[in-house]
Amino acid sequence: MEQYKKDFIEFMIDCQVLKFGDFVTKSGRKTPFFVNTGFYRTGSQLRKLGGYYAQAVKETFGLDFDVLFGPAYKGIPLSVTATIALSEKYDADIRYCSNRKEVKDHGDKGILLGSPINDGDKVVIIEDVTTAGTSIEETLPILRAQGNVDVLGLVVSVDRMERGQGEKSALCEISEKYGFKTTAIVTMKEVIEHLYNRPYKGKVIIDDTLKAAIDAYYEQYGAK
């Protein structure tokens, strides 16, 4: 596993974004782990987060694209911090763009924030996590209404590796349905590999008991 992935896993724990315990997902699944990106709250945290996203974007999509699009609302700061990181780390001047939930009819009119999207633009979508692909279904019509754009794919922070609407993972379903690449900074498999029975700051986060609970969860909800 690449070092930046290990660093990102520990970064999520430090920011209390990745938690283990007893939780219920939006879809009603009882889960022993939870990812809440709303806990990235400071400037230094967002700066680091942008760097991790930038590396994942570069590794999967390269730097030959025009716009990083972050769907409202959580995608807005992600698109901003990741484009800043792409500039700082790789000298790539990528435009950022997001959508409004409501169309603005005065001043800076329209549904978009940041850069306009033009015919021929290559676009990468950035999100926090995805479970059922609902956000993509809402995002693609917005992008395609702007012109003849080329959507290269989607990057998220964590691939939960559980079933989406069918037997495959949500990221796999999205890739197959829309014909573009999907990637994550880390997968839950990598999280477990890095943390299982391995102390971090003097504490074993995933011990045998928690590992058994995670295994049981994936036995029920894991992607095929």
- 194 has catalytic annotation: no
Percent of the chain clearing pLDDT 90 (strictly above): 79
Nearest to 75 by CA among 4, 173, 154, 183: 154
pLDDT over 80 (residue 22): yes
Which has the higher per-residue pLDDT, 136 or 150?
150
The predicted-structure confidence for 55-90, as pLDDT tens digits, reads as follows 999 999 999 999 999 999 899 999 999 999 999 999
- 48 has catalytic annotation: no
Percent of the chain clearing pLDDT 70 (strictly above): 95
pLDDT band at 111 (very low <50, low <70, confident <90, very high): confident
pLDDT band at 131 (very low <50, low <70, confident <90, very high): low
- Give the DSSP letter of residue 180: S
CB atoms < 10 A from the CB of 201, how many? 8
Average pLDDT, the chain: 92
Selecting among 106, 201, 203, 224, the annotated active-site residue is 106
Selecting among 5, 19, 89, 104, the annotated active-site residue is 104
Identity of the amino acid at 138: E
Is-contact 171 154, C-beta < 8 A? Answer: yes
The predicted-structure confidence for 23-40, as pLDDT tens digits, reads as follows 988 778 899 999 999 899
- Give the DSSP letter of residue 111: E
Q: For strand 95-104 and strand 67-70, is the pairing parallel, antiparallel, or unpaired?
A: parallel
pLDDT over 70 (residue 130): yes
Is-contact 118 146, C-beta < 8 A? Answer: yes
CB atoms < 10 A from the CB of 177, how many? 13
